[in-house]
A and B are shown apart, each in its own frame.
Chain A
Amino acid sequence: MTFPGTPTLRITRAQHRTIIGHCFDGLPDEACGLLGGPAIGAMEEPTGVITEVFPTRNADASSRTYTVDGKDMLRAMRTMDERGEVLVGCWHSHTHTEAYPSPTDVRTATANPNWIYVIVSLKPEHGAPVLRAYRIRDGAVAEVPVELMG
């Protein structure tokens, strides 16, 4: 399914490398981070363009859950404030499962219904990392297309 008006997530190859690299660096734990970019309107609808990828610490230091470190989040938000842009999503790794929101991911997706949730699977059977993106609203999951730029 898709939600109406779903943007295409456009990330550069360099941003993609940053995300994947941080996911590997975090092993054996899950890794996480934030996405910043332009957004439209009071509910901060992302355009899909990402201007900054923020690797953050996983405050849970866990292979099963993540919590974006609070100070890292505050710093990322202020960086985007200075640019006149906002946080438009987040990303985290699944070390041994698919790049699809877990029941916990769905339950805790409360930041903003317009946020884009990127999940990277490092499941060894895939041979290479798999990056996919979603929107999560009221318990429903919809995939967001991803386009690699540059």
Chain B
Amino acid sequence: MPVEVRLPTLLRQYTDGTASVTADGATIGEVFAAIVGQYPGLGGQLIDDSGSLHKFVNVYVNDEDIRYLDSLGTPVAEGDVVSILPAVAGG
């Protein structure tokens, strides 16, 4: 099931400048594995060393933040749009 993944500015350096990529997968984790397969440089940017979603990115399926769903296990269906945005935080 192909879904569209929209990338923030800073990650486009890993996708030859492409702002949006399409990948197959039944969950966010599977979709990320597919796009990292296409663009290996994205790997460490999306997933941290422990295999969890990187804390410096926010990921949405349509309008929903996956941290409040099932994180990388969140299911996706054809036609869903996955948006990745930088997390904005500080002290």
A residues neighboring B (CB under 8 Å): 30, 32, 34, 42-44, 60, 64-68, 70-71, 73-74, 77, 86, 90, 92, 101-105, 108-112, 117
Least Cβ–Cβ distance between B85 and chain A, in angstroms: 6
Main secondary structure of the interface of A (DSSP, over half): mixed
CA distance A73 to B56 in the complex (A): 14
Task: Give me the interface of B with A, judged by CB distance under 8 Å.
Answer: 8-10, 12, 17, 56, 58, 60, 63, 65, 67, 83, 85-91
In the complex, residue of chain B having the shortest beta-carbon distance to the beta carbon of A109: B90
Q: Do A86 and B91 have beta carbons less than 8 Å apart?
A: no
CB <8 Å contact, A70 and B91:
no
Contacts of B67 in A (CB 8 A): 70
A74 touches B83 (CB 8 A): yes
The answer to whether A71 touches B89 (Cβ under 8 A) is no
Q: How close is B60's CB to chain A, nearest CB, in angstroms?
A: 6
Which residues from B are CB-within-8-Å of A71? 63, 65
Instruction: List the A residue with the shortest CB-CB distance to B91.
Output: A104
> Can you list 12 A-B pairs, Cβ within 8 angstroms, ordered by A?
A34-B88, A42-B9, A42-B17, A65-B90, A67-B87, A67-B88, A70-B87, A71-B63, A73-B58, A104-B90, A105-B90, A111-B8
A-B contact count (CB 8 A): 72
Question: Is there contact, CB below 8 Å, between A66 and B65?
Answer: no
Q: Is the CB of A44 within 8 A of B88?
A: no
Q: A67-B88, A71-B65, A110-B87 are in contact. List 13 more A-B contacts (CB 8 A).
A: A34-B88, A43-B9, A64-B91, A67-B87, A73-B58, A73-B88, A74-B60, A74-B65, A90-B88, A108-B56, A108-B91, A110-B86, A112-B86
A60 to B90, CA, bound (A): 10
Asked if A111 and B91 sit within 8 Å, CB to CB, the answer is no
- Inter-chain CA distance A107–B64, complex, in Å, is 27
> Which 3 A-B residue pairings sit nearest by Cβ, starting from the closest?
A104-B91, A111-B86, A105-B90
Q: Are A68 and B89 in touch, CB under 8 angstroms?
A: yes
